[in-house]
Amino acid sequence: MNPKKFTAIVPLVSILLFINTGCNTGQSATDHALKDSVTKEQAVEKGKVYEKKPIDTALYNKLMNNLANHDTTGKWPARAPYPLPGAVLPFHRIVAFYGNLYSKKMGILGELPKNEMLKKLKQEVHNWQAADSSIPVIPALHYIAVTAQGYAGKDGKHRLRMPSSQMDTIINWANEINGLVFLDIQVGMSTVRDEVPPLEKYLKLPQVHLGIDPEFSMKDGHVPGTKIGTFNADDINTAIDYLASYVKKYNLPPKILILHRFTQGMITNYKLIKKVPEVQVVMDMDGWGDKTLKRSTYLRYIYAEPVEFTGFKLFYKNDTKKGNHLYTPQELLKFIPKPIYIQYQ
């Protein structure tokens, strides 16, 4: 990994900016994480949320109806099969910090030193738990494992895969707080089919899940960051197929797939997105701006096109420009449906 060649692209919805950054030194602990994190016995001992208990279908239905928040249109709760035993959702709410350790401009994860960042994350978890005691709230680190790039690179794919030491570090940090990990992919001019398999050694861990970002899927040859990209249902189903295969191969509880969205064109043919017991799909509202704009985006692209679960991203800096304030947990819990995945950037 040559730090001088790393170019982080802050999402277009935030700002179009290409930057060169220095590197943080990560721990090399993949083997340790694999050995210490995968067995059911250790999961129970550590109080992890991924113990494979049978699904209580009555409780599942009750919680899904609660998330629908008295929707009268019939859209919510979205129709989906019951998940496999050990499912995180809807039995927990997830509060995640997003970013990359090579850049202080891609999110709170990477902007702050480790201990300060984890302390702030715990406080956000506490805030959400205080706002809604009906389900436990668990922390997560959402790490951009494949970053879109302004330069083409040797293979012309306009994306850069992060070194294993970075994933090891994130997994170790998450283990310290009994949290989940999400590895996020910005494919650039590559594909979901090519970018998910290299992460299998991490996705085989029960606490590690996946995010894919259509904003940087450049199907028309534009340089990432100059135009908003797109995924169709086939791209998303490819990710779902991979995750489902890992669940079966390694006898895992269901995986969670985060899909970022803030425009109509970022996700196409949403009705064709697969719904399988092995994968839980979260459509995450990813736009920044004032509260009115963010609510409008949620209604137009998340509420109106139900898949399974919903998420909401909050930007510490871009949402608070010109004296605006972040949505509070109490305010977001009034949304239809209630978001169950909350991401801070």
User: Percent of the chain beyond pLDDT 70?
Assistant: 85
- The pLDDT of residue 9: 52
Question: Is 1.10.3470 the CATH number for 3-344?
Answer: no
Q: Calculate the average pLDDT of the chain.
A: 87
How many residues in the chain? 345
pLDDT at 174 over 90: yes
pLDDT at 333 over 70: yes
* Cβ burial 172-197 (10 Å sphere, 16+ → b, else e): bbbbeeebbbbbbbbbbbbebeebbe
Q: Sort strands 17-20 and 7-10 into parallel, antiparallel or unpaired.
A: antiparallel
pTM value surpassing 0.85: yes
Calpha distance 252→85 (Å, rounded): 9
Residues 5-52: pLDDT tens digits? 444 554 443 322 222 233 333 333 333 333 333 333 334 334 455 567
Q: What are the boundaries of each domain within the chain?
A: 3-344
Residues 228-284: pLDDT tens digits? 999 999 999 999 999 999 999 999 999 999 999 999 999 999 999 999 999 999 999
More confident residue, 49 or 193: 193
DSSP state of 328: P
CB contact set of 126 (below 8 Å; sequence gap of 6+): none
User: Which residues, listed in sequence order, are joined to residue 208 by a DSSP beta bridge?
Assistant: 181
Residues 72-124: pLDDT tens digits? 999 999 999 999 999 999 999 999 999 999 989 899 999 999 999 999 999 99
pLDDT at 323 over 70: yes
Mean pLDDT over residues 187-207, rounded?
97
Give the three-class secondary structure for 102.
Answer: coil
Peptide bond into 77 cis (omega under 30): yes
CB contact set of 197 (below 8 Å; sequence gap of 6+): 242
pLDDT at 60 over 80: yes
The token pair at 171 is 């997994």
pLDDT at 205 over 90: yes
- The pLDDT of residue 48: 53
